[in-house]
Structure 1
Amino acid sequence: MLLSSCREKKEEVFNNTIAVKIVNAQEKFLDNELSSFGTISYKLKNDITALVEGTIYSFPVKDGQYIKSGSVIARLRNFQLEIQKSQCLSSIEAAKASYDLTSAQYNESVLAVESKLLSIEKSELTIKQKEVEFKSKQKTFEKQKSLYEIGGVTDYNIEQLELELGSLETELKILRKEQEISCLGFRKEDLIFNGIVPSEDDETFHKQIVELNTRTAKAQVASAKAQLDSAEQQLKSVELLLEQLTIKSPVSGIVGQKYYENGEYVNENEKILTLIDTSSVDAVIYIQEKDIVNFSIGTQVNIEIPSLNKNVKSTISEISPIADSQSGNFSVKASIGNSDNLIKPGMFVKCRFQKNEPEQFPCIPNTAIIQGTDNSAKVICVIKNYAVIKNITIKEQKNGYVWISDGIEKNEIIVNNPSPFIREGQLVEIIK
Structure 2
Amino acid sequence: MVSLRVRQGDRVRTGDTLLVIGRREGAEAQIASLLENVHKEEANLGRVKRLLEINGNSKEQFEQAKTAYELAKARLVKAQESARDFSVVAPWDGLTSQLFTEVGDYNYTNPRRPLIEIYDPTSLVVRISVPERYAAHLKYKTPVSVTLDAYPDTVFGASISRIYPYLDERMRTRTVEVTITGNVDLMPGMFARTRLQAGLIESALVVPTQAITTTPDAKSIAFVMSDGKAWRRVVRTGIEEDGRVQITDGIQPGDSVIITGIMSLSDGRPVGIIRGENKSGVVPNATEPQAVKATATNSPDGPK
TM over 0.5: yes
Matches within 5 A, 1:15-414: 56=2, 58-74=3-19, 80=25, 248-263=89-104, 272-309=115-152, 310-336=154-180, 342-371=185-214, 377-414=220-257
Q: Deviations over 1:262-315 (max 9, x none)?
A: 345788x99753322232112110111111122122322222221244543332
Q: Which runs of 5+ in 1 are unaligned?
A: 1-54, 85-237
Determine the C-alpha separation between the residues in 2 that align with 1:255 and 1:344.
12
Determine the C-alpha separation between the residues in 2 that align with 1:343 and 1:255.
15
Determine the C-alpha separation between the residues in 1 that align with 2:256 and 2:229.
11
Deviation at 1:361, TM superposition (A): 2.6
2:125 aligns to what SS in structure 1?
Answer: strand
Q: Deviations over 1:390-431 (max 9, x none)?
A: 222212223322221222222321222135443333333322
Q: Deviations over 1:340-375 (max 9, x none)?
A: 7x3112211111111113533333222223336999
Alignment check: 8 A CA contact 1:288 1:330 kept: yes
Aligned AA for 1:388? Answer: W
Determine the C-alpha separation between the residues in 2 that align with 1:363 and 1:244.
64
Aligned AA for 1:399? Answer: D
Determine the C-alpha separation between the residues in 1 that align with 2:227 and 2:180.
58
Q: Deviations over 1:154-176 (max 9, x none)?
A: xxxxxxxxxxxxxxxxxxxxxxx
The answer to whether structure 1 residue 431 and structure 2 residue 285 are counterparts is: no
Determine the C-alpha separation between the residues in 1 that align with 2:7 and 2:89.
15
Deviation at 1:261, TM superposition (A): 2.4
Alignment check: 8 A CA contact 2:139 2:198 kept: no
- Change in Cα spacing, 1:356 to 1:375, as seen in structure 2 (3 Å) is farther
Determine the C-alpha separation between the residues in 1 that align with 2:216 and 2:238.
11
Deviation at 1:317, TM superposition (A): 2.6
TM-score for the superposition, normalised by structure 2: 0.58
Determine the C-alpha separation between the residues in 2 that align with 1:290 and 1:373.
24
Alignment check: 8 A CA contact 1:258 1:273 kept: yes
Q: Which runs of 5+ in 2 are unaligned?
A: 30-79, 276-304
Alignment check: 8 A CA contact 2:18 2:89 kept: yes
- Change in Cα spacing, 1:246 to 1:373, as seen in structure 2 (3 Å) is same
1:345 aligns to what SS in structure 2?
Answer: coil
Determine the C-alpha separation between the residues in 2 that align with 1:352 and 1:253.
30
1:274 aligns to what SS in structure 2?
Answer: strand
Alignment check: 8 A CA contact 1:279 1:339 kept: no
Q: Percent identity?
A: 21
Deviation at 1:337, TM superposition (A): 6.5
Alignment check: 8 A CA contact 1:317 1:335 kept: yes
2:119 aligns to what SS in structure 1?
Answer: strand
Alignment check: 8 A CA contact 2:24 2:83 kept: no
- Change in Cα spacing, 1:409 to 1:245, as seen in structure 2 (3 Å) is closer
Alignment check: 8 A CA contact 1:320 1:330 kept: yes
Alignment check: 8 A CA contact 1:378 1:389 kept: yes
Q: Deviations over 1:108-131 (max 9, x none)?
A: xxxxxxxxxxxxxxxxxxxxxxxx
Aligned AA for 2:259? Answer: N
Deviation at 1:377, TM superposition (A): 2.1
Alignment check: 8 A CA contact 1:368 1:418 kept: no
Determine the C-alpha separation between the residues in 2 that align with 1:413 and 1:307.
45
With a CA cutoff of 8 Å and minimum separation of 6, indicate the structure with the bigger relative contact order: 1
Aligned AA for 1:249? Answer: A
- Change in Cα spacing, 1:373 to 1:292, as seen in structure 2 (3 Å) is farther
Determine the C-alpha separation between the residues in 2 that align with 1:308 and 1:248.
35
Instruction: Give 1:221's aligned residue.
Output: none
Higher share of residues assigned helix? 1
Larger of the two Rg values belongs to structure: 1
Determine the C-alpha separation between the residues in 2 that align with 1:254 and 1:376.
53
1:279 aligns to what SS in structure 2?
Answer: helix
TM-score for the superposition, normalised by structure 1: 0.43
- RMSD (Å) for aligned C-alpha atoms: 3.9
